[in-house]
Amino acid sequence: MKRTDYDAVVIGGGFYGCTIALFLREHFGSVLLLEREKDLLTRASLVNQARVHNGYHYPRSFVTALRSFVNFPQFVKDYGDCLDSSFEQYYAIAAAQSKTNALQFLRVFSNLGIPVRPARAAVKRLFSRGLVEDVFLTTEYAFDAVGLRRRLSFEMERARIEVRLGCGAEKVVPRPSGQLELDLDNGAAVCARRVYNCTYSGINRLLRSSGLPLLPMKHELAEIALVQPPPEIEGLGITVMDGPFFSTMPFPARSMYSFSHVRYTPHTSWRDDDSQPAAAPAPDAVRTNFPFMLRDAARYVPCLKDTLYAGSLFDTKTVLLKNESNDGRPILFREHHGLENLYVIMGGKIDNIYDILHILEGRQARATGAVQ
């Protein structure tokens, strides 16, 4: 018979849920991880650009850039075997409509100590002169979500964390004993002293069904196109910024390149609010935007017109509404959210896991200190 009582239950088997479960296991005897899908890391943790951010994306948000820069080496150290670092990542600053100029880009990152170098002449030639102000070589890698899945599964098994796949949590309810009860979609229930809602785009769904206050979030149905780049682009990653532009870079989980565009990657967007249930449009019903992405991108990098389309991945991208991330960190950490010992956790980027772990460590140290 399956166990029903745990020290901690983590809901959501994405990168965050798995990593947090591993952290919790260091402090608690029994940890359960629930994942609705058939496998771990199949949702946002897979359907994304796979960029290990080093700050370059955020020339106008100092803290986000700084946090990425601080977290980057740690991520590389911890997950080096799940990374593709074999390509050259270039950031180009668009000449028009960009919210940053080349000088500002250079200044911000040089001051932070984040490596920015001028691009090779041969690479610069790939870009349309009039449309791009300057191009910089940066240090940024791509992560392999399948590799991460393998790694995390192995580590959780080794740490004796119980993982239930294909098992969704429907509702959290308090028990008179002070524990939290989780009703599962297979009709069963489990109990825990503490519950961690790490369901990313599903956070509010679980809160709503539990009758708890919702958090201010916006969702987008996002499309990541998978492509075979033209030979000129092989071995390079390209991001044109800072505004409604695009990027294409290796996508190790499928041994292809991803292609995304600020304007065309999001298809529809919606917000969770109390009056109407949030509904994500079904990805199957959505037509690809890739032709639009490509047409625009080829204006900036003409050789991209020879890109071969292989298909698209769709999933929901969730962003915190502005006032939730006031200090610039795209993370959400709610302790005792509506219920004692219910934690809600979300990170806007893979590397923000360290910001979350930092907070959890602080809480843990304080709790241990209080016990002593």
Partner 1 sequence: MSIASPARKGGIEVASRPQTMSHPLLWSAACLLAAWIVLVFLSGWAEARVFSGSPVDGPFQLVNALRRLHAGQRAGTDFPFFHGVGVPWLHYPGFVLLGANLWASELTRQWLSPVLYLGSMSVFAWVATSGDRRKTIVFVALGALLSCPLGLRELYTPGNSLLGIRSTMPVFFFAVLLTRWGAAIKIALGGVVAALAWICGTDQGLMLIAACAFGGVFLLVTRRPLRGIVAGAFLTACLALVPILALITGANVKPALRYAFIDLPQDQFWFFGAPPNSFPSDIWSLRFVGVRAITVIAISVAVWLALFLRPSKRPDFTVVFLMLTTGLLACLSYLGLLSASYFAPLGRLLLLGTLMWAVSESHPGWLILISIPGVALGLIGPASDLWKRREKLFETGPMVSGCILAPEWKEHLKKIEDAVGPLSGRGNELPLWSTYRGLPEAIAGAILPGEDYLIHALGPERQSYIERFRNTKPQFVQTIRPEYTNYEEWLRNSTWPFYRELLAHYEIATVTPFSLIWKRTPEPGGDESPASSIVPGKTFSLPPGGEQPDVVTVEVEYQTTSSLRLVPLFKSLPRYLIQFRGTLNTVPVSLPPAPNRGRFVFGVLRRPRTIPVLRAESEGLAPGAAVEIRAVTIQPRQLALGQMQFAAAGAH
Ligand X SMILES: Cc1cc2nc3c(=O)[nH]c(=O)nc-3n(C[C@H](O)[C@H](O)[C@H](O)COP(=O)(O)OP(=O)(O)OC[C@H]3O[C@@H](n4cnc5c(N)ncnc54)[C@H](O)[C@@H]3O)c2cc1C
Measured distance CA(165)–CA(168) in Å, rounded = 8
Measured distance CA(266)–CA(4) in Å, rounded = 40
Q: Taking the alpha carbons of 39, 49, 70, 83 in that order, is the dihedral positive or negative? A: positive
Decide which of ligand X, partner 1, none touches 169; Cβ closer than 5 to 8 Å per partner kind.
ligand X
CB of residue 220 to ligand X, shortest distance in Å: 8
Closest CA to 301 of 58, 49, 131, 114: 131
CB of residue 329 to partner 1, shortest distance in Å: 7
CA dihedral 355, 360, 365, 366 (to 10 degrees): 110
Measured distance CA(68)–CA(71) in Å, rounded = 5
Question: Other CB atoms closer than 10 Å to residue 139's CB: what's the count?
Answer: 17
**Parallel, antiparallel or unpaired: strands 189-197 and 342-347:** parallel
Residue nearest to ligand X (CB): 14
CB of residue 290 to partner 1, shortest distance in Å: 35
Number of residues that bind ligand X (CB under 6 A): 39
By CB under 8 A, residue 267 contacts partner 1: no
By CB under 6 A, residue 206 contacts ligand X: yes
By CB under 6 A, residue 168 contacts ligand X: yes
Measured distance CA(25)–CA(259) in Å, rounded = 37
Tell me the per-residue interface mask from 45 to 64 with partner 1, x by CB under 8 A, - otherwise: -----------------xx-
Decide which of ligand X, partner 1, none touches 67; Cβ closer than 5 to 8 Å per partner kind.
partner 1
> Interface with partner 1 by CB under 8 A: which residues?
62-63, 66-67, 69-70, 73-74, 108, 111-113, 323, 326-329, 355, 358-359
> Interface with ligand X by CB under 6 A: which residues?
11-17, 34-37, 41-45, 47-51, 53, 168-169, 198-200, 202, 206, 222, 224, 315, 317, 346-351
